[in-house]
Chain A
Amino acid sequence: MSQNKIGVDQWVEQYDQRVNKAKGLQGFIARTSQRLPPWGWLIVLVAVGALLPVITQNNFAIRIAGNIALMGTLALGLNVVVGYAGLLDLGFVAFYGIGAYTYAYLSSDFSGVHLPTWVSLPIIIVISALFGLVLGSPSLRLLGDYLAIVTLGFGQIFVQLMTSLTRVSLPGHERPVDLTGGPNGIINLDKLSLFGFTARTVTDHYLILLVVLAVALLVIYHLNRSRIGRAWRALREDELAAEAMGMPTRRLKLQAFAIGAAVAGFSGALFAGWQGSVFPANFDTTLLISVYAIIVLGGLGSLPGVVVGSIVMVAAPDILRDVTLAGTLFYVGVLVTLIGAIRPRWQTALLIGLVVVFGVIVRLIVGALDAQALAEPQLSNSLITNTVRSWLIIPVNATIIGNYAFGLLILMVLGVSRIKHSVWRLAALVPTLYVLIFVWETRLSQEPSVTRLLFVGVLLIVLMIYRPNGLLGQKRVEIV
């Protein structure tokens, strides 16, 4: 060990040496991820993404992947506004809608205009960016929460206008004109067509969206690593100091709004082209929340975080539609959480053993008391589920008891989280886990449509507790 230098954090200074010395798979992964340049990651992303249609012909899977790429691109735009420039813009989805509706006007029978997509896209980008400037300018004087409320208003106004501009009196027209199609939207849009290539299948759309995501990642990565990106982040950290260091904060804010809006408008156009129609309901608050969840989950300001966030947020609700898959995920999730949360490892093994014994005892007792109270378990085609169900008790009136158990479970979880002593906590976890499995098998797995949303909610809560800066976010401080 070399001599300690005062004021030098050797742990940090020697990080590279440690990584190089690390052995085995962990060391290999650490070295590779460190040495792979950003464009290398991008190539990996595109290559893996492009392999998907080769591996599977399953349109459902490719559709999900396409949605991931689309939401990822949209979230990239928001990441510039919120993650870099620190402007809490709750009207962001309106730009997505503006892009989508502009596409509809430029490529459908509704307006009678049929521009090919490669002609209309630049127009859409410019129009969206202009709207970004227009909506950004009144917001310049507003900070933080106030900006959020004002932009939320913009977003609502957009949806309302698109819903209600159906009977507008225009000069030169005798009868009121339908500008937006109202709640029924605009349908039969042209297919996306780029330089003579027309997207028809799900795979076509997916590949376009994948390329768009990659290009957007590259553009925004470049912007971030430049004077403009540094100025945006400086603005986020301390607006006054940024201004005093020579950065024109008002112009920078408008630029952030404009580029965010341009990216959103672009992805909105692709969305409209893929869906083949646009409706005001496509651009409501649910979408806004999803996009925010993506960037917060991935880590504000982190580009890989946006990709990972959109994979989780888009894929999770869709994958969880499948009951068997959801069951597997549930048990794997519980197992991984236990392994991660409980140290030393033998305690994890002990806990699982105790839960199994606990279940067997409960089954014996209930069986001895009243054997008729037990229903025949409905077996599924999943090995895990079948094993669990033949071990668990399934009461005849499972629905009602499951509801009570759900309430009990919440109380038990709260109780366990209050116990400090490790032995008692381990002991209390045994019935808690049992009730958790009971609730899953009697109630949650029976209603996948509700469960998947619950699942996503729980996932968000757990992730935010354990990784408050998001999956790939940098640690951040507010005031020190």
Chain B
Amino acid sequence: MALFELQNVSKHFGGLQVVSNLSLAVEQGEIVSLIGPNGAGKTTVLNLITGLYAPDAGKIVFDGRSIAGKDVHQITRLGIARTFQNLRLFLNMSIIENVMSAAYARTSANWFQIILRTPGFWKEEQHIRAVAEQKLAFFGERLVGYRFEQPAYSLSYANRRRLEIARALMTEPKLLLLDEPAAGMNPKETQEVTELIGKLRDELGLTIILIEHDMGVVGGISDRVIALDHGEKIAEGSFEAVATDPLVIEAYLGRNENMVRK
């Protein structure tokens, strides 16, 4: 059985049908890329999965459970984490706190324990700290050491993207949704991100859904590619198959006839 499934999901905003009758399934350990032109509904699909929007119709099943209509934080607790297309870090908090804050759903210290600083509180706090440092160490030396206590706004753009991934990892997800992780990165950094996504799957056993415009990244790591246009699935399969699909080419470049000079 698939880890994650969308069954005939639709969503409209007013008169605009953003996602229509979309079905897709993701297996455990798979890396699936969503591609499509701007406005195709890719981010809306992510927002539907994470519970920011409730679907108008259809079912969303994760780990054998229907999650449509649940609160965003409940879905995160079940094991779906995401990053955002336009970085949404907690800019005025330190780097380590950005990551530690995401452990909220996995920790349990109550008011009593926190105010009295019981041994249980300290144990949990030290555990969170250690795990957070470990998540940040995943990105090499960039986010460790003296950086821990630096505010997040002091980071460069690429490091902010890395920090956002570390923060998402801290929620201990089974399914990780990455919304354009390579946006705004230079070729070398893009290459690094590609390797990183592979590492996330291989070393942490994550299942990953990826939205990306950089076809180098998409082609480099995707097990399967799904192309969307106007909220509908127009192609699905290996990168090569989807990239050469006439419907996909049409969605990106327009119809062939229009290109022909009279």
Contacts and interface: CB of A to CB of B under 8 A. Distances in A.
B153 A477 contact: yes
A219 interface: yes
Of the listed residues A9, A222, A226, A248, the one surrounded by the most CB atoms of chain B closer than 10 A to its CB is A226
Interface string B88-111: 111111000110111111110101
A244 B51 CA distance: 9
Contacts of A219: 115
Interface in A2-22: 7, 9, 12-13, 15
Interface in B139-159: 142, 145-146, 150-151, 153-154, 156
Q: How large is the interface on B (under 10, 10 to 19, 20 to 34, 35 or more residues)?
A: 35 or more
Interface string B197-212: 0000000000000000
Interface in B23-73: 50, 52, 71-73
A291 B153 CA distance: 29
A9 B50 CA distance: 37
B9 interface: no
Interface in A225-241: 226-228, 230-231, 233-234, 237-238, 240-241
A246 B93 contact: no
A474 B91 CA distance: 12
A245 B104 contact: yes
Q: What DSSP secondary structure best describes chain B's contact surface? A: helix
Interface string A340-375: 000000000000000000000000000000000000
B125 A245 contact: no
B100 A230 contact: yes
A246 B105 contact: yes
Contact of B76 (A234, A245, A480): A245
Contact of B90 (A226, A241, A475): A241
Given A12-B146, A474-B151, A480-B153, A230 B97 contact: yes
Interface stretch (B12-20, B77-85, B233-241, B242-250): B77-85
A314 B106 CA distance: 43
B117 interface: yes
A480 B104 contact: no
Contacts of B111: 223, 228
Contact of B71 (A230, A248, A474, A480): A248
B77 A246 contact: yes
A219 B112 CA distance: 10
Chain A contact-residue range equals: 20 to 34
Of B73, B154, B171, the most chain A CB neighbours within 10 A belong to B73
Contact of B93 (A7, A233, A248, A480): A233
Contacts of B52: 240, 244
Interface of B: 50, 52, 71-73, 76-77, 81-82, 84, 88-93, 97-98, 100-107, 109, 111, 114-115, 117, 121, 125, 128, 142, 145-146, 150-151, 153-154, 156, 167-168, 170-171
17 contacts: A12-B150, A222-B114, A223-B114, A227-B104, A227-B107, A227-B114, A228-B111, A230-B104, A234-B93, A234-B98, A241-B88, A241-B90, A243-B76, A244-B76, A247-B104, A474-B151, A477-B92
Interface of A: 7, 9, 12-13, 15, 219, 222-223, 226-228, 230-231, 233-234, 237-238, 240-249, 474-477, 480
